[in-house]
Structures are given as C-alpha cells and as structure tokens.
Amino acid sequence: MIKKIALITGASRGLGAALSERLSETHHIIAVARTVGGLEDLDDRIKSKNGTATLAPMDITNRDAMSQLFTSIFEKWGSIDFWAHTAIHAPPLSPLNTIDLGDLDKTIATNITATALLINFISPIISKEGNALFFDDPCNGKKFFGAYGSSKIAQMSLVQSWANECKNFGPNVTVFKPAPMKTALRARFFPGENKENLLSPKSEAKRVLATLFNP
C-alpha cells in the first residue's frame, strides 16, 4: 500500500512534530526544519511507530533550498496530499520604539515572505483533494507584540486570499486557532505562566486532525 505524502514545515518540535508523529500512521512524512537534532529525534519516534519520514534540514527563507526541495518532491512523488505549516519566527517581545530592526527583518522573512514563497511552490504539486493547514495566533494590538502580531496578521491575510482562490478547485485550505500549549514559543512569550493548564502539542495535534477529517 502506497502511503499518502504529508509535508510539515516546522516539524522539529512543538505542534509540527506532534502532527508529524500523528500523521505518520497514514502518511509518509516530509519533515522540514532547521534543527537537525530535532528532526533526527522525530525520525526515531516515527520509526518506532513503523512510520517513515524524509528529513529536510532546511531554512524556509532560503529560496534556492526551497526550490530544490519542491523539485525533489515532484520528481520523487509527483504530488503531496497534505501540508501543515507550523514554522514561525517569534522575535523577543519589546516596546515598538525599541524593536530590533534586524529581528523584524527576520520575522517578515519567515512569517510573511516564506509563507508566500511556499504557497507559490506548493500550489502546482498539492492534490486538488488535499489539505493545507495554517495556524493563527491572534495578538494584534497587544502591547509588546508589535513585530510578531503584525507578521501574523499579514500571514493570515495571505492564507485567506489563497483559501478563497482555492474554493472551487482545491486544495482545502484551513486555518486553526490552537489552544494554549506547552511549547518553547509560548514559554518565550509567557515565561511565568502556570504550565499545568496548558495542553500538550500531541493532544492538540490529535484534536486538530480529528476536526479536519471528522468535522
């Protein structure tokens, strides 16, 4: 039996890793992230469940690397069935008048430009019956969230435009608002938070996929 193909960008940890593990039961996983060690650990967990994965230790802001990746995907598999985009850059929280402009450039490159680039590359090879998942994190207007919040607004605007463009022809583009989770990203934003009330990425991945496939 030939498995379906799932691409996970931002797969080395958090929700991306949890989605990869869960989907590996039914899909071959193409796991993209910058952290080699995290990808190798993910591969070990997938193999322990008799799943398979292709590791792609790449930076999604590197256009040449992304072009090479999607060319390789097309040549090997022809198409993919599922894409979950969880890669994100979270700059340090700070007042807007003290923001580091270099970090702002990195935020824009990762959260906005790379999202548009990936949509451009993936559109020709994702099946018309396939699914593309994105994750919103509404924090626009909150103090100290100027860089991150504005980048998420722009990212979601791109995604909503693509979703509307795909309504009649596919793929199915869905945006989820995850519940608060025990992730490194959230720990950076809320270091003193009581983590006992937070969900694990694994439980949130299970909910997201159940909602998508069994609405």
Is residue 67 a contact partner of residue 91, using CB atoms and an 8 Å limit?
A: no
The pLDDT value given to residue 12: 96
| DSSP letter (8 states) at residue 139 | -
pLDDT in tens, 157-215: 999 999 999 999 999 999 999 998 998 888 888 888 888 889 999 999 999 999 998 86
What domains does the chain contain, in order, with CATH numbers?
Answer: 4-206 (3.40.50.720)
Cis, bond preceding 91 (omega within 30 deg of 0): no
Q: List Cα–Cα distances, 57 to 29, 89, 121, 158, in angstroms.
A: 13, 16, 18, 25
pLDDT in tens, 85-130: 999 999 989 999 999 999 999 999 999 999 999 999 999 999 999 9
For residues 104 and 102, what is the distance between their CA atoms, to the nearest angstrom? 5
Is residue 73 a contact partner of residue 7, using CB atoms and an 8 Å limit?
A: yes
The pLDDT value given to residue 215: 62
Tell me if the pTM is above 0.75: yes
> For the range 120-126, what are the long-range contacts, defined as Cβ-Cβ under 8 Å and sequence gap of 24 or more?
121/66, 121/67, 121/69, 121/70, 122/7, 122/70, 122/80, 122/83, 124/74, 125/70, 125/73, 125/74, 125/78, 125/79, 125/80, 126/79, 126/80, 126/81, 126/83, 126/171
- Is residue 1 predicted with pLDDT exceeding 80? no
3-state secondary structure 55-109: EEECCCCCHHHHHHHHHHHHHHHCCEEEEEECCCCCCCCCCHHHCCHHHHHHHHH
